[in-house]
Structure 1
Amino acid sequence: MGLTAGWAYGEFRAPEYAATSYVIIVPGNAAERVNAVGFAQAYGRIATSDSNLARAQQAAGIGTRQLRAQVHSETSPDSPVIAITGVSRSPSGSSDIANAVAEALSVNGNHVAKSTGVQLQVFSKAVTPTDPASAGVRLTTAIGGCLGGLLGALCMVARPTGHGRHRKSGGHHTRESPPGAHPSAGSPGPSWPDSRQFTDSGGQRPGGPR
């Protein structure tokens, strides 16, 4: 079941492509070089803001709401570089999204370069990918098989055991007592024969006069 579901998901799901563009922070003077990484962290968050996506939507060819769902940015704690990745079901669409958002960020950042002391430059434009970034059929099939095996094992573990089973007796449900259990106070105990029924070889009862 899991193998079939994984294969069907990988076979019929439309592939997605991803392309990444890089924007670098260029400090205007030596004093700002120390803060270049900090500016990159700040501009990495601005890259997916409403104002930046509104500028990029025309070049990307899609609206702001859809653009927000198809782009994300990442920054490094060691270098003043911002990676902007666009995702689309078409190879050219993914690169168009990444380049549009990167260019919009560069323009918006350079408008305030005099006050911040840093400039933004598109260091590397996104290229059209040739292979999809989404999982292939083999990977989804393997994942489905693993999930199916895991669910099967959980079902085996959660299966009820034989303890506390009920049986029908005379139309009523009774619970089986485990071996060696003593009868409850409300149930009759075993009947023992009266000692008066026993006599010794001389015809007298045990314990009587001989």
Structure 2
Amino acid sequence: MTDNPTRHHRQPGRLARAGLLRPWSLLAAGALAGGLAGGTYGTLKDPTYTATSYVVAVPTAKSDPASALGFAQAYGRAATQLAVLGDAQAWARVPVPTLRRSVRTVTSPDAPMVAVSATSPHPGQAADMANAVTRALTRHANATKDSTHVKLVLFSRAVRPTDPTSPSWAVTGLVGTSAGGLLGGLALLVRPRRPADDRPVRPASVPGPASAADVHGQL
């Protein structure tokens, strides 16, 4: 029985379309998996809150603003040292390792100000830690103001935050989608490619009886 030539002509087209769909399917699957993972993480993770207090370095009569700016930079680095955190733990009611993980300081190159920020799953605890470190830092700084001629003054106390600073599920889902799509693209780049010899070969057409007779007559 003779094979249907139409069936052979259509088969390479289906294989070609399948080859075009597979890469897009891998990218879509990676983006979808990443989006689901990121959204789930953002939904299940406990929110975190950040509270910030501010202190200002003020020069005395024997100093100048430039000296106050330099000491503010130094106080910003000293705020997370053991001597300051050791005193702050009693007011914050948390151990020193928790303060070391949760407290960060930021200084400005243009203003003699130190920002002390604390992060916690509990908004009240975040404010307590920031204020405790600020209080301890101020005491340490003012204990040596007679020699440094710079004193540290409280500018703003930390208040209990009302909104979390951790990313929402929508943000984590978007990040997960981007990461999943990127991983899917990388997988496409490193996937093994099919050799050219393995591609389906279109079968040669066989002339019918009438065509064969015409060729024989020409010969």
Range into which the TM-score falls when normalised by the shorter chain: 0.7 to 0.9
**2:186 pairs with 1:158:** no
One-letter code of the match for 1:45? R
Q: Matches of residues 182-193 of structure 1 in structure 2 within 5 Å?
A: none
Segment of structure 1 superposing worse, 154-163 or 105-114: 154-163
Measured after TM superposition, the shift of residue 33 of structure 1 is 1.7
Which structure shows the bigger proportion of residues in helix conformation?
2
Q: Do 2:63 and 2:150's aligned partners in 1 also have CA atoms closer than 8 Å?
A: no
* CA deviation vs aligned residue, 1:159-190 (integer Å, no higher than 9, x gap): 11123889xxxxxxxxxxxxxxxxxxxxxxxx
Q: Which has the higher contact order (CA 8 A, sep 6+)?
A: 2
CA RMSD of the aligned region, Å? 1.4
Which residue in 1 is equivalent to 2:130?
98
Give the TM-score normalised by structure 2: 0.73
Please give the alpha-carbon distance, in whole angstroms, between the structure 2 residues aligned to 1:48 and 1:130. Answer: 25
Give the TM-score normalised by structure 1: 0.76
Q: Matches of residues 47-196 of structure 1 in structure 2 within 5 Å?
A: 47-163=79-195
Please give the alpha-carbon distance, in whole angstroms, between the structure 2 residues aligned to 1:63 and 1:97. Answer: 10
One-letter code of the match for 1:60? A
Which structure shows the bigger proportion of residues in strand conformation?
1
Note closer, same or farther for the CA distance 1:165–1:99 as it changes in structure 2 (3 Å cut): farther
Which structure would you say has the larger Rg? 1
> Which among 37, 40, 47 is matched to residue 15 of structure 1?
47
Gaps of 5+ in 1: 167-210
Gaps of 5+ in 2: 1-32, 199-219
**2:35 pairs with 1:3:** yes
Q: What is the DSSP-based 3-state SS (H/G/I as helix, E as strand, rest coil) of the residue aligned with 1:123?
A: strand
One-letter code of the match for 2:40? A
Measured after TM superposition, the shift of residue 80 of structure 1 is 0.1
